[in-house]
Chains A and B, each alone.
Chain A
Amino acid sequence: MRTGDLNVGLFLVSALLLAGCSTVTQLEPQLVSERLPFIQDGKTSKEEILSRLGEPYNRYQGAQILTYEMCEDFYLKGQLHIKDTRPTGGKTEARRTTVPCPLERRNKLILVLGPDNLVARHSVVLVK
């Protein structure tokens, strides 16, 4: 067998072994509460969400479902931060960034609002 053939074979085996896999999962509700303590089902209002987090990434069902993009932040030692889309600064849970999340790290905060415009359910969807 030639060295070149052996190299290709070794590379293929290594690639098969090293090929990563990222699956869509939900962050544990307790961890969501720890990271975003102000969001509480049945208590937090839509107005508070918009004032603290800015414009959502997406809206569904006449804005009764809002989504925000969350990135893992290298400078926050891997903690998730929400992309701040508000035009002005101020103290906020969102972190201003112009750098888009890498494809494999596009985590989402999903907020489902009830008829009273309070958060009814929420989750953080992770791509990991």
Chain B
Amino acid sequence: MSELLAIEAPPAVEAASWWQRHAAARRGLVVPGLVLLVWTIATHYGLVNKHLVAKPEKVIERAIKEISEGGLFVNLLASVQRDLIGFALGAVAGIAFGGLLGVSRLFDRLLGPTFHAAKQVAMFAWIPLMSVWLGTGEQAKIVFIAVAAFYPIVVNTQEGIESVAREHIEVARAFDYTRWQIVRKVVFPSALPSIFAGVHTGLIYAWLGTIGAEYLLSPGFGIGNLMIEGRESLQMDKVLLGVVVVGLVGAAINLLASRLEQYVLRWRVTAFEARQ
């Protein structure tokens, strides 16, 4: 039956070797590899001021020193902890608020304009206000991180809810769904891809906000603080170590978020997959 053939079977793949299967990962490592190469050459051949840029092996030495003396883990843990707490707060508030704006036209009219205006204020411009109101303690940092994650999540959640297909809602109505059932079973799953996109962006902003908060609301532990220490005593290896760690953690967060998104939204066919 011709209709049966219309099912898209994945293209026939012979068991790919380990080397082949990790082609994508290999390609992703090309640029970092080049950066490492340029960095090594620049520092070893005196192309940059050695007081401003430490050699890669010095950064590794510093890493080993910090790990063995426990400093790195303490700072990393502090950073990750406040990142997660701040993000969680911002995400819950963001989905709730975005949901409200999306579902209720009244609330959108009342609160929307103020929200969108406040959104225009650059994240870091809130710091002076926050440091006066909340001080520079843990609380202030977590609030700042939460605010950083809040905005993209609200915007994406609202958009996701507003773009639910009218056709699907009609189907639910034809089957006597109550208003609450329609929200739970049609609107929410329909908006989930958008909400995930917002959460993904929120995670990135939260990590950015974490380092920023540590830097600008300084007293305390954290990778940002590690970098401040390094800067103040001109220990560039410490600073660069901080940079590398920030980058690695950011990449790890991004990867986890992508994988989670892929799994939850596996019913989608995206243009990305079609490209394979």
- Interaction A to B: no
Chain A residues near B (Cβ < 8 Å):
none
